[in-house]
Amino acid sequence: MPPEPEFRSGFVSLVGRPNVGKSTLVNQIVGSKVSIVSSRPQTTRTQIRGVRTTPTSQIVLLDTPGIHKPRTLLGERCNSRSVQTLAEVDVVCLLVEANAVIGGGDRFISELVHQVSTPSVLVLNKTDVASHADVADHLGRVTAELGDFEAFIPLSARTGEGVDALVTELEARLPPGPVYYPDGVISDQPETALVAELVREKLLAIARDELPHSIVVTAEPLDEDRTEAEVDDILRYRVVVRVERDSQKGIVIGKGGTVIRDAGTKARHELEVLLGARVYLETKVRVDPDWQRRAHSLDRLGL
């Protein structure tokens, strides 16, 4: 009887320009939503870990903020958080788009990846919206423009096509190791972080053309303020949406409160599915002037 394969585990960082599909890929590999998705660039602001566990391996995926030219202190911190992971993980995945030309941003991030000794895999994402000719052209030019990688994987994070091939490549490059997270854990995010991020995702989807990028959402449990006799089986959260100016507050609330109410309802429905319980959200909108440019505000918000 052949010996059982050695259990492998480790950390994989997904890096790339904003909006290349890192969060969608993390969700696809994990098999559940652990990171919010939006067509707006720079949606991911913190490092989110998704966990995929099988009988033979555990992959801990780090969904990092998109590396971009920063205009605020928040942008600088997001870039620093992404770059820092490159030398601290077991494998780096650089994502580029199959339906867009390789640009200066891709080349810049590739140079950062090649500055560390961490094994790297290039992922050509969004093949579902690219022609076969574009995919072939990208694969042919990628080495010349972005340098050598240990593997090149074309895939669609949205449909899942090609994702199994990527997982196989990642597992092969992980070292023998322990089980970092218990079976059944798919993320190390606290529930409050998931609540806040889902509300922000729904706001971005509902009012994407008018909504300023400078919003941040926080959440805290409401049950802490209630006596034991009052606690029921409903998960209750206080959600606060912060904007930078008074003029932005009206956009977030919407006429007659429609925007914030619709976002809260959509987030609540999704949370009830993800958490397997009834959810109640108490939402408020506050003005925190220039929060993304002030170190004190970013520290307080965990950014």
pLDDT at residue 178, as a whole number? 92
Domains and CATH numbers, the chain: 8-173 (3.40.50.300), 191-300 (3.30.300.20)
| Widest pairwise Cα distance in the chain | 70
Residue 189 exposure: Cα atoms within 13 Å on the Cβ side:
27
Average pLDDT of 270-276? 80
- Partners of 209 in the β-ladder: none
Burial class (CB in 10 A: 0-12, 13-18, 19+), 55: exposed
DSSP 52-67: EE-SSEEEEEEEPPPP
Residue 77: pLDDT band (50, 70, 90) is: low
Could you tell me the strand order of the sheet in which 235-243 lies? Answer: 216-221, 235-243, 279-287
Quick: pLDDT tens for 79-130: 565 566 777 889 999 999 998 888 888 888 888 888 889 999 999 999 999 8
Quick: pLDDT tens for 280-292: 999 988 888 766 6
Q: What radius of gyration do the chain's Cα atoms show?
A: 20
Main-chain phi, psi angles of 280, to 5 degrees: -125, 130
- Partners of 97 in the β-ladder: 125
Mean pLDDT of the chain: 80
Residue 231 has pLDDT above 60, yes or no: no
Residue 271: pLDDT band (50, 70, 90) is: confident
pTM above 0.95, yes or no: no
pLDDT at residue 166, as a whole number? 96
Residue 45 has pLDDT above 50, yes or no: no
DSSP 170-217: HHHHSPB----S-TT--B---HHHHHHHHHHHHHHHHSTTTS-S--EE
- The size of the chain, in residues, is 303
Residue 227 has pLDDT above 80, yes or no: no
